[in-house]
Structure 1
Amino acid sequence: MTIVVTTPTGHVGSRVVRLLIQAGVRPRVLVRDPERLAAATRGHLDVRRGDLADAAFVREATAGARTVFWVDPTPHTAEDPIGTTERTAAALADAAGAGDVARIVFLSSVGAEKRHGMGHIDGLARVEQLFDATGADVLHLRCGYFFTNLLLSLDELRQGVLTTAADPDGPMAWVDPRDIGEVVAARLLNEEWKGRVVQAVHGPEDLTFTRVAEILTGALGRPVRLRPVTDDDVRSQLGSAGLPPKAVEGIVGMLAGTRGLAREQPRDSTTTTPTPLSAWAYAQLRPLLAE
């Protein structure tokens, strides 16, 4: 059984790699810079060096694999994030359509089910459709808001501020990427599921940004004040930072699209993962802010 893992050094992928190794699997990892792989795991991996945006590399590196874990590598700052996301996944879709890959586990997002009006998430929706058309067994993991997105706010958090354009009192699914990695690994190792499957990954509880600021205040041992901003504020800030217009609208579209987003799947034992934000923030954010 050959399992391919893309973005193996990311928050989710690194956890998937570790769990597969512990399960006795030698995963094939696709990575641009092998030096970023954890030294303790390199000897247990089949490492293929290349860029996921290189269609020829993806086709060659996935040939003969039974299962592929696909994570879109497109940064939100890309000049055409939605189009790039779709084009990058096309090589894997071609491989699956040709029968070279039998199963795909795809890291998607809540909101992809809407298919449009979700900014960069619209690109993930297009990838879902690409993979669905291949005839392979496909699992779409529609994940909530990553705890690790807070790492982008370290400088502000040091000043006791958390800025957001989201509805301060709108509940959202928040999830630890390590918990997502555990769901991914379990699905990669499970040979029983077939066809097209959608599974949400919601984290342990829905949180508003108001509640997040309260949780961070307790976990970090310092007051954190929420600073709401508008979509136009975000546009102005991102434009001033030099981001291309489509990148700006891709980010703003995600913020706007997730406001009031109705849950597609219920919160139950399948979609709920265990790690609370308070525990993650204490273990991960607090040491970084103390440096």
Structure 2
Amino acid sequence: MSIAVAVPTGNIGKFLLPKLLESGKKITVLTRSPQKLDPTIRERVRIQQGALEDENFILEATKGTEALHWLNPGNKKAEDVHGWYRLYEKSVSNAVQKNKIEFVVNISTIIPEVVEAGVADGIVHVEEYLNETDANVAADYLLNKNWKGKKIHVLHGGEDLTFEAAVKSLSAAVGTTLKYNYISLENFYEDLVAKGYIPCAINIPHTSLTDPKTGKFLSKEDLKLSFRNAGVDTDSLPEKIICYCNGGVSATVVVTALGILGIENIPVYDGSWNEWGKDENRPKSRLI
């Protein structure tokens, strides 16, 4: 049985390859940078060097392959994230169909970036553990051919944890005591709608100003339409406008959209509802 592995030098690939090699199967690695492979691994695998988004490369490199381990590498600099991943979609689907690859294990994951984010840095410990767990599961599927059709295997870790157990594990990883506070959906909804808003405020969802596929702002005409649908005529605005939200962040999206339309110098109330809502002396309108 021959197995091809994409992204063999990643956090999952480096755990996966030794497990596959232990089985004695023929392993082919698809990589742009073979020099990054561990020397002890490099001499035991068949190396195919090229770009995973290159349809012709993937088609040739996976000929004779019975099972394929696939993982899409990210690209932080891509202007169109969806377009970037569609390149891989084309290359792998083309190879699987034309080379009649029977078994494909596709890894889908969210990888946290460690950027000195305080307590959030602890996520990397969980990610490293999940990566090794992913490798174990992937190896089982690649080596055992007793499955068919489409199967999704969701991994939350080495075991199914309660929220309390997960918080305990995370606390140990980051060296800080974390707390878990459960709020039912009903209570969350009641709390949300009871918060209210500043009198005379108009709600403009920031998500209505951007393209959900690309994350980019809409065209000027579509921006005007979104504002108009919210009850705001951008061609006839009042003299004084202040944007706010819950914490002073999402409001900047509205300010930026107005700037695209040539409406500048719009202030953001940085305290926003977090400050206004706590002041008993300030007027408030309620949703219910």
TM-score calculated relative to the size of structure 2 = 0.54
1:189 pairs with one of 107, 124, 143: 143
1:105 paired residue number = 105
1:21-71 Cα offsets, whole Å, 9 max, x none, are 111123100111111101121111111111101111111111121111110
1:156 equivalent in alignment to 2:117: yes
Kindly indicate whether the alpha-carbon contact (under 8 Å) linking 1:5 and 1:28 is maintained by their aligned counterparts in 2: yes
What are the equivalent positions in structure 2 for 1:1-291 lying under 5 Å apart?
A: 1-109=1-109, 149=112, 152-153=113-114, 155-157=116-118, 161-162=119-120, 176-203=130-157, 204-206=159-161, 212=167, 215-220=169-174, 222-223=175-176, 246=214
Distance 1:193 1:210, change over 3 A: closer
Kindly indicate whether the alpha-carbon contact (under 8 Å) linking 2:16 and 2:139 is maintained by their aligned counterparts in 1: yes
Distance 1:97 1:211, change over 3 A: closer
Kindly indicate whether the alpha-carbon contact (under 8 Å) linking 1:81 and 1:247 is maintained by their aligned counterparts in 2: no
1:232-253 Cα offsets, whole Å, 9 max, x none, are xxx9xxxxxxxxx94789xxxx
- Cα distance in 2 for residues equivalent to 1:20 and 1:174: 19
1:288 paired residue number = none
Work out which of the two has the higher radius of gyration on C-alpha atoms and give 1 or 2.
Answer: 2
- Cα distance in 2 for residues equivalent to 1:82 and 1:18: 32
Displacement of 1:207 after TM fit? Answer: 7.2
Distance 1:210 1:83, change over 3 A: farther
- Cα distance in 1 for residues equivalent to 2:32 and 2:66: 22
Which runs of no fewer than 5 residues in structure 1 stay unpaired?
Answer: 110-144, 165-172, 227-234, 236-244, 250-291
Distance 1:15 1:174, change over 3 A: closer
- Cα distance in 2 for residues equivalent to 1:20 and 1:207: 32
Kindly indicate whether the alpha-carbon contact (under 8 Å) linking 2:170 and 2:178 is maintained by their aligned counterparts in 1: no
Displacement of 1:107 after TM fit? Answer: 1.0
Q: How many residues align?
A: 181
Which runs of no fewer than 5 residues in structure 2 stay unpaired?
Answer: 180-205, 207-212, 218-288
1:97-155 Cα offsets, whole Å, 9 max, x none, are 2244222111135xxxxxxxxxxxxxxxxxxxxxxxxxxxxxxxxxxx56xx3xx3352
Distance 1:13 1:225, change over 3 A: same
Aligned partner letter, 1:162: A
- Cα distance in 2 for residues equivalent to 1:208 and 1:83: 36
Q: Secondary structure at the match of 1:106?
A: strand
Which structure dedicates a bigger proportion of its chain to strand?
1
Q: Secondary structure at the match of 2:25?
A: coil
Kindly indicate whether the alpha-carbon contact (under 8 Å) linking 2:28 and 2:47 is maintained by their aligned counterparts in 1: yes
Kindly indicate whether the alpha-carbon contact (under 8 Å) linking 2:53 and 2:88 is maintained by their aligned counterparts in 1: yes
Q: Secondary structure at the match of 1:153?
A: coil
Structure number with the bigger relative contact order (C-alpha 8 A, sep ≥ 6) is 1
1:221-272 Cα offsets, whole Å, 9 max, x none, are x44789xxxxxxxx9xxxxxxxxx94789xxxxxxxxxxxxxxxxxxxxxxx
TM-score calculated relative to the size of structure 1 = 0.53
Aligned partner letter, 2:93: A
Kindly indicate whether the alpha-carbon contact (under 8 Å) linking 2:48 and 2:61 is maintained by their aligned counterparts in 1: yes
Distance 1:247 1:209, change over 3 A: farther
Q: Secondary structure at the match of 2:21?
A: helix
